[in-house]
Structure 1
Amino acid sequence: MADKTTYHGSCHCGAVRYEAKSEPIAEALSCNCSMCRRKGTLFAFIPASDFDLKSGEEALSDYQFNKRVIHHLFCKTCGVTSFGRGTMPDGTETIALNVRCIDEIDPTTIRINHVDGKNF
């Protein structure tokens, strides 16, 4: 198992900032559901225990749709979704990092895996 890397992410205006620990992120998930398709979000998933929201809890707004199991969070000021919260089928709390909002990652350098979320 590789050492975990600390990543830093934020929304556009900087109101929402976080640190996340993860195996080195070399790939992300691109979903074609009605939400992700419109936003262009690229996700990497980590356990909630490896996520630390440094600032901006009060700046977040929550949007849920369909089965209402994913919290699509976005900054009330700039509208950017830097991460989301959810629960895996086994009950594990998870964080979906928007790789496009992580300072240390250039999304053009990682592998993108496509998922058919439209038909979930």
Structure 2
Amino acid sequence: MLYKGSCHCGKVAFEFKAELTGAVRCNCSICSRKGALLCAIPHGTLQVLAWGDDLGTYTFGNHAIAHRFCRACGIHPFAEDVREGRERSAYININCVADLDPSTLSVFDFDGRSA
């Protein structure tokens, strides 16, 4: 299924194809503060529709994940695996996906603090 999403102001928009059956709630230091519910998809299935100077990047720790955010409204719609030598993934914040009710998905709790 094709999904579309964006940040709050719409300056960072995206679409991706996936079969969403669940979401991941991570308790790492950034995900818990963002309140993100995530789904992992192959990076190649993510298409960013509004890029420009409005897309910011934040990394921390081992800098393996680029957390993307809108510089205008501050919303974090997705993140990207930036490590070399492996199949890359994108992590969509399903709270930013249009026409999707996150309460209809099963949620898996991931212990990112210990990872």
Amino acid across the alignment from 1:22: A
Equivalent residue for 2:102? 107
RMSD value, Cα = 1.5
Alignment of 1:74-89 (within 5 A): 74-87=69-82
Distance in 1 of aligned mates of 2:85 and 2:99 = 30
Equivalent residue for 1:49? 44
- In structure 2, the CA distance between the partners of 1:88 and 1:68, relative to structure 1 (3 Å rule), is closer
More strand by share: 1
Amino acid across the alignment from 2:68: L
Equivalent residue for 2:21? 26
Distance in 1 of aligned mates of 2:75 and 2:51 = 12
Q: How many residues align?
A: 115
Kept in 1: contact 2:66–2:82 (CA 8 A) = no
TM-score (norm 1): 0.90
CA displacement at 1:90 relative to structure 2:
6.4
CA displacement at 1:26 relative to structure 2:
2.0
1:12 to 8, 12, 15: 8
Unpaired runs of 5+ residues, structure 1, are none
Query: Percent same amino acid among aligned pairs?
Result: 35
Amino acid across the alignment from 1:21: K
2:35 to 35, 40, 43: 40
Deviating beyond 4 angstroms after TM superposition, the runs of 4 or more aligned structure 1 residues are 87-90
Distance in 1 of aligned mates of 2:9 and 2:75 = 9
Unpaired runs of 5+ residues, structure 2, are none
Distance in 2 of aligned mates of 1:86 and 1:18 = 16
1:64 to 53, 59, 69: 59
Amino acid across the alignment from 1:27: G
Alpha-carbon displacement from aligned partner over 1:5-33 (angstroms, at most 9, x marks no partner): 0000100000001110112x121000001
Amino acid across the alignment from 1:7: Y
TM-score (norm 2): 0.94
